[in-house]
């Protein structure tokens, strides 16, 4: 079995990893935010050379709390019991910060989404993490994905921003 990125990094720096199940949901969301952002940036850069400002705008559209909230709403039926428990812990945790331009509900759901991403990353379950991200992007109507269902309740402006990723 091939090592995941996390195991590779920890091995190179000679550090171990504690029991992931005991990690705070905010720690899971912290690392999940970073790995999800890296996946989105990699996806965008993989499409070819572009102006950095354009890449930033496209990435910001997909990593904002509202987009993550919509993704996790669509993904909930796909989650295992274990993933659902991590999501609920992340969603329900008390946070002392708030995303600008996000509702409280969107922010809580996005924190749960990021916690699931962090959990899967720390478990080296990259295939599962990528599967969920792909399905979530499909649910947003991202044209770079295989199917394009209409997004679940996002505004026309948000839908246009998301579809602009292939521009």
DSSP for 128-140? Answer: HHHHHHHHHHHHH
CATH of the domain at 47: 1.10.1520.10
Q: Which of 37, 1, 47, 32 is closest to 113 using CA atoms?
A: 32
> What domain range is 10 assigned to?
5-166
Residue 161, token pair as written in the block:
């921003």
Number of domains in the chain: 1
DSSP code string of 20-84? GGGS-HHHHHHHHHHHHHHHHHHHHHTT----HHHHHHHHHHHHSHHHHHHHHHHHGGG--HHHH
pLDDT at position 164 = 54
Q: Which of 1, 56, 23 is closest to 122 using CA atoms?
A: 23
Would the pLDDT of 88 be above 60?
A: yes
Could you give the dihedral angle defined by the CA atoms of residues 57, 96, 126 and 143, in that order, rounded to the nearest 10 degrees?
Answer: -30
Q: Is 33 a catalytic residue?
A: yes
Average pLDDT, the chain: 85
Which candidate in 19, 33, 37, 166 is catalytic?
A: 33
Task: Determine the Cα–Cα distance for residues 24 and 90; give it in Å rounded to an integer.
Answer: 8
Task: Determine the Cα–Cα distance for residues 107 and 59; give it in Å rounded to an integer.
Answer: 17
Would the pLDDT of 148 be above 70?
A: no
pTM of the model: 0.83
Mean pLDDT, residues 44-65: 95
Task: Determine the Cα–Cα distance for residues 24 and 18; give it in Å rounded to an integer.
Answer: 12
pLDDT at position 166 = 52
Task: Determine the Cα–Cα distance for residues 37 and 31; give it in Å rounded to an integer.
Answer: 10
Residue 136, token pair as written in the block:
């979530």
> pLDDT tens, 55-76?
999 999 999 999 999 999 999 9
Would the pLDDT of 84 be above 90?
A: yes
Q: Which of 15-19, 83-87, 95-99 has the lowest mean pLDDT?
A: 95-99
């Amino acid at each position: 079995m091939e090592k995941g990125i996390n195991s590779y990094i920890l091995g190179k720096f000679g550090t171990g990893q504690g029991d992931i199940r005991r990690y705070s949901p905010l720690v899971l969301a912290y690392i999940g935010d970073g790995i999800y952002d890296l996946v989105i940036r990699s996806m965008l850069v993989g499409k070819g050379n572009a102006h950095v400002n354009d890449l930033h705008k496209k990435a910001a559209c997909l990593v904002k709390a509202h987009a993550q909230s919509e993704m996790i709403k669509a993904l909930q039926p796909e989650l295992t019991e274990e993933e659902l428990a991590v999501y609920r812990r992340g969603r329900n945790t008390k946070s002392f910060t708030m995303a600008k331009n996000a509702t409280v509900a969107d922010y809580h759901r996005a924190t749960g989404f990021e916690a699931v991403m962090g959990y899967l990353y720390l478990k080296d379950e990259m295939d599962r993490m990528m599967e969920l991200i792909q399905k979530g992007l499909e649910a947003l109507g991202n044209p770079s994905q295989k199917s394009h269902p209409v997004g679940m309740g996002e505004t026309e402006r948000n839908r246009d921003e998301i579809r602009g990723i292939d521009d």
